[in-house]
Structure 1
Amino acid sequence: MENAPELDQSSNGETALDQISSERSSAELTDEQYQRKMQRRKQIQEQRLAEKTNQKGLIIVHTGNGKGKTTAALGIVLRSLGHGYRVAIVQFIKGAWEPAEKAALAPWTEAKEGNAPQLEFYAMGEGFTWETQDRQRDIEKAQAAWDKALSLMQSDFRTVLLDEINIALKLGYLQIEQVLAGLEQKPDDSHVILTGRGAPAALIERADLVTEMTLIKHPFKEQGVKAQAGVEF
């Protein structure tokens, strides 16, 4: 019976997992080979987890031209809420939360038993820039949103979402220097998520976790399909 190749014992966990992944596909293995392969993967993964002992608040960036930047950020928001953490959201461009999202988040925005609401959100923009057509007013709104964001980041919120702040930076409504300086003032254990296409290189360099959403296909562009409830709003 053919044996699965042995791992290079000098390899670190990352290389070892790559080596396992480059072997024949699981469908081509016998049951015994598949079991041994999964046992090795489990051993390597457990070793990697044991070595990762650091814990810190993260600066997270969602950027790129693809759909899903805010949607992914809301997933982190929901996880934080599920753990009982306080969360704040500031919208820099959109004028208000879409009805479905607002309705879904509403239970967390209510104060209970004299305690502050677990979730606070602020729609500080006035809509898309091509709708407002007033650069100075857009700048003032973005600056007001940043002032609010700065106060929230310095408070007791565990997670702060700055929705579409990257757009405000790209359009020059905010300066990257002030944003980077503000991020340095957050508590060590708090997370800040910054979304929007066109994230500046300096922000990407500073961030701990960066995801670029890549547009491959979109029904609006290619099929003329309008925004639909449950998908876009």
Structure 2
Amino acid sequence: MQLVRHRRGISGIEASILAITIVIVAAALAFVVLNMGFSTTQKAKTTISAGLGEASSTIQVDGTIFGSGHVSAAKLNYTAVPIKIASGGDSVNLDDATAAVKYLSNSISYDNIYAGTLTTTTQDNDDGTADGQWLSLEEASESAKDEGYISDDPFEADGSSFPATTKAYVYWTVNDNNNEILDQGEHAVLAIAYASADRPAALDKVRAEILIPTGAALTIERQVPLITNEVINMN
């Protein structure tokens, strides 16, 4: 007796459908993999850019750091640091709600002495207009007292009047838009007015850190030279 064997085969159209299905699935998987790769690359780029932005300081020292000295007492009444936006940096909000100034010396340490910025409302020019710019530290000190940032003006009473507490504030020497944001092209000064007991003497080290919302803090550290003049070059 002859055995009959039945064999089943796959027709050409079934094979084609299967091949097309495999190709579609492979293409879909490849798209998913590539999309994940692009997404990961973009996230990495964003993270690196953000990290570089946080690691670099947006503001920088703009010229000579100087002090206002009391010669007979051989101590500083003021330290003034000119600042501006670093090349390629973004604008910085210097409002006291977003910025801070930490101060340290040989004998004291304050987490935040920042009172805020002087604006157009605190200084009038000779013609009665206000442009938010100050020609000197002495003018800014008068405005700071009027604004309530410092209790007493060190330039008054022949240099024998001092704030009750050490305070820092910012005033503009070049101000384009009269607000509290330091923009490219604008120039400002961080002024530190010392309380009588906090005034640094010759050879003391003073250190200030300007903490801003984005970017690294700007750190300034100087050793006080001999105080033989009322204006002291601290560079």
For normalisation by structure 1, the TM-score amounts to 0.26
More strand by share: 2
Q: Which has the larger radius of gyration?
A: 2
For normalisation by structure 2, the TM-score amounts to 0.26
